[in-house]
């Protein structure tokens, strides 16, 4: 019995000793108070989001909870510390600025603090992300309203950005128009085919004051008995639909940014039409100005330059350019500006030497590098079957902006991968593109991935 009692007492003493050692060890996770804390350097001196960032020195301790690292007013994520090195990750939207390190003691008060004389330079990185949308294991999705986590799309093909409310209008071709409220992270259905006697909704355009949303319908008719273009107003929350123009089957329209003249296309012969007030009928009528791409039945989409000086027509793998006549207030017969009529491919080049697959929607974006020049805008366009976003410069030079990244042995260009614009990102039939100029964000709708993707500066 005495042996057992002595053994129990010895065990308790050992446990207390070990506990004391453990507490002493915990206390020693910080710098050794008997030695100076030295900060010698940091690296790298410049980097982008997710870059590894290191602070070097001596007697830095081993407890990451005691260490705070910041660049300017942006706090970094401390991942590890090993006495002579602190390991961090650079977060999104870090500032260019001075690097500061603070190490706290047991009571939370700083025991060492240092600001390096050299600055860290943050390099903004533009990359592809996902805003909203999802598919099941078979790649299927459905029209589902709700939060961004719940919402689904079936055939998102066209996008418009409305800056007043930070909202996207997304057309699901042949079916309906969705509203994507970016601030509230909610998706709702605004308009369906059943409204305004639509047969198959095609595309939409906003007036340049963003107060009127024009909607284009494929009514399937070669007469003027059905609505070809309708409109809905901000003052009515874009809910009520009104007839705008009765005409033949149409696929796209564009409102002149200065003269507010409406132009649209028809399937029949690829005609480019101008709407005008006709006193005989007491309403809007139309006349054909010319035909795009010969005399073929085609689906042309139309995009005005912000100045109103010209418009681009997209058809198949070709970009046509039409000058605006300010005297007649009409568009003139176009020329082929980039790509070649009847030819498809994937070639970055100038003018008619370039090749596209199938072009659907584009958007003009101001390029600060062109400041002071006659034309300060690039044209970004979705190249649907090349699974990429291309740029057409004011001089007709075509380049690939995003997509077709992550090369693999299968040789495919399509996929669903976020990340670096060219090294990683993949799209699958991107067709709609809109741009938020204030925040410098592109929104891309994808037919096959059934999502809305983003291209933005991290």
Inter-CA distances, 280 with 276, 284, 285, Å: 12, 10, 9
- Evaluate if residue 394 carries a pLDDT over 80: yes
Distances (CA, A) of 252 to 135, 170, 238, 297, 355: 29, 14, 19, 14, 23
Contact in structure between 447 and 171 (CB atoms under 8 Å): no
Distance in angstroms (rounded) separating the CA atoms of residues 397 and 401: 12
Of 138-142, 168-172, 199-203, the least confident = 138-142
Residue 331 exposure: Cα atoms within 13 Å on the Cβ side: 35
Q: Is the pLDDT of residue 23 over 90?
A: no
Query: pLDDT tens digits for 350-391?
Result: 999 999 999 999 999 999 999 999 999 999 999 999 999 999
Lookup result for tokens 């994937």: 346
Q: What is the pLDDT of residue 16?
A: 44
In the chain the domains, ranked by start, together with CATH numbers, are 38-122 (2.60.40.10), 126-457 (2.120.10.30)
Nearest to 453 by CA among 445, 355, 261, 192: 445
The pLDDT, as a whole number, for residue 11 is: 47
Helix, strand, or coil (residue 108): coil
Whether the per-residue pLDDT at 261 is higher than 60: the answer is: yes
Q: What is the pLDDT of residue 256?
A: 96
Residue among 432, 437, 424 nearest 448 (CA): 432
Alpha-carbon separation of residue 110 from 63, 114, 316 (angstroms): 14, 11, 65
Length of the chain: 458
Q: What percent of the chain has pLDDT over 70?
A: 94
Long-range contacts of 229-234 (CB under 8 A, 24+ apart): 229/253, 229/262, 229/264, 229/275, 230/196, 230/198, 232/190, 232/191, 234/164, 234/210
pLDDT recorded at residue 3: 46
Residues 6+ apart with CB under 8 A from 367: 376, 377, 378
Centre a 10 Å sphere on the Cβ of residue 3 and count the other Cβ atoms it contains.
7
Question: Is there a contact between 347 and 354 (Cβ–Cβ < 8 Å)?
Answer: yes
Report whether pLDDT(409) > 80. Answer: no
Question: What distance separates the 2 farthest-apart alpha carbons in the chain?
Answer: 121
Distance CA 350, CA 397 (A): 4
Do the beta carbons of residue 143 and residue 127 sit within 8 Å? Answer: no
pLDDT at residue 223 tops 70: yes
pLDDT band at 458 (very low <50, low <70, confident <90, very high): low
Question: Is 311 within 8 Å of 302 (Cβ atoms)?
Answer: yes
The residue-averaged pLDDT of 221-246 equals 94
- pLDDT band at residue 151 under the 50/70/90 scheme: very high
pLDDT at 20: 43
- Say if residue 44 is preceded by a cis peptide, omega within 30 of 0: yes
Q: Is residue 44 very low, low, confident or very high in pLDDT (cuts 50, 70, 90)?
A: very high
For residue 151, the surrounding DSSP H or E stretch is none
Residue 7 has pLDDT above 50, yes or no: no
**pLDDT 10s digits, 411-446:** 788 999 998 899 999 999 999 999 999 999 999 999
Average pLDDT, the chain: 90
Among 280, 266, 255, smallest CA distance to 204 is for: 255
Q: How far is CA 197 from the centre of its chain?
A: 33
CB 99 within 8 A of CB 69: yes
Is residue 58 over pLDDT 50?
yes
* β-pair partners for 378: 365
Distance CA 413, CA 389 (A): 12
Cα 146 from Cα 184, distance rounded (Å): 10
Q: Which pLDDT tens digit goes with each residue over 78-117?
A: 999 998 999 998 887 788 999 999 999 888 899 999 999 9
Burial class (CB in 10 A: 0-12, 13-18, 19+), 2: exposed
pLDDT exceeds cutoff 60 at 15: no
Instruction: Give the span between the Cα atoms of 349 and 399, in whole angstroms.
Output: 7
């Amino acid at each position: 019995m005495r042996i057992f009692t002595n053994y129990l007492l010895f065990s308790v003493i050992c446990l207390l000793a070990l506990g004391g050692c453990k507490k002493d060890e915990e206390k020693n996770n910080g710098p050794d108070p008997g030695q100076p804390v030295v900060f010698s350097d940091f690296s790298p001196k410049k980097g982008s989001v997710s870059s590894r960032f290191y602070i070097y020195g001596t007697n830095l301790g081993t407890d990451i909870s005691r260490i705070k690292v910041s660049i300017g007013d942006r706090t970094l994520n401390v991942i590890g510390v090993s006495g002579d090195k602190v390991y961090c990750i650079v977060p999104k939207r870090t500032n260019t600025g001075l690097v500061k390190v603070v190490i706290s003691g047991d009571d939370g008060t700083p025991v060492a603090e240092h600001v390096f004389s050299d600055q860290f330079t943050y390099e903004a990185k533009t990359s592809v992300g996902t805003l909203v949308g999802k598919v099941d294991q078979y790649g299927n999705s459905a029209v589902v309203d709700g939060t961004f986590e719940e919402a689904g799309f079936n055939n998102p093909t066209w996008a418009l950005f409305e800056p007043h409310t930070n909202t996207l209008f997304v057309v699901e071709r042949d079916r309906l128009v969705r509203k994507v409220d970016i601030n509230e992270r909610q998706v709702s259905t605004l308009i369906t085919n059943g409204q305004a006697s639509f047969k198959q909704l095609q595309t939409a355009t906003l007036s340049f004051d963003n107060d009127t949303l024009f909607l284009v319908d494929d009514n399937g008719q070669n007469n003027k008995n059905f609505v070809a273009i309708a409109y809905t107003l901000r003052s009515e929350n874009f809910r009520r639909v009104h007839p705008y123009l009765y005409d033949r089957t149409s696929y796209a329209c564009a409102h002149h940014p200065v003269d507010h003249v409406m132009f649209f296309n028809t399937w029949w012969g690829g005609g480019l039409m101008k709407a005008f007030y006709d006193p005989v009928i007491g309403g809007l009528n139309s006349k054909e100005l010319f035909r795009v791409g010969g005399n073929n039945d085609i689906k042309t989409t139309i995009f005005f330059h912000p100045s109103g000086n010209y418009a681009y027509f997209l058809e198949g793998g070709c970009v046509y350019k039409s000058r605006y006549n300010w005297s007649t207030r009409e568009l003139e017969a176009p020329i082929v500006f980039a790509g070649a009529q009847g030819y498809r491919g994937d070639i970055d080049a100038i003018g008619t030497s370039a090749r596209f697959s199938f072009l659907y929607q584009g958007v003009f974006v101001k390029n600060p590098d062109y400041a002071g020049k006659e034309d300060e805008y690039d044209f970004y366009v979705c190249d649907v079957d090349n699974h990429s976003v291309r740029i057409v410069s004011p001089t007709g030079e075509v380049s690939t902006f995003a997509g077709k990244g992550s090369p693999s042995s299968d040789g495919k260009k399509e996929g669903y991968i976020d990340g670096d614009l060219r090294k990683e990102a993949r799209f699958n039939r991107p067709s709609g593109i809109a741009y938020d100029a204030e925040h410098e964000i592109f929104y891309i709708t994808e037919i096959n991935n059934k999502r809305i993707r983003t291209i933005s500066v991290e």
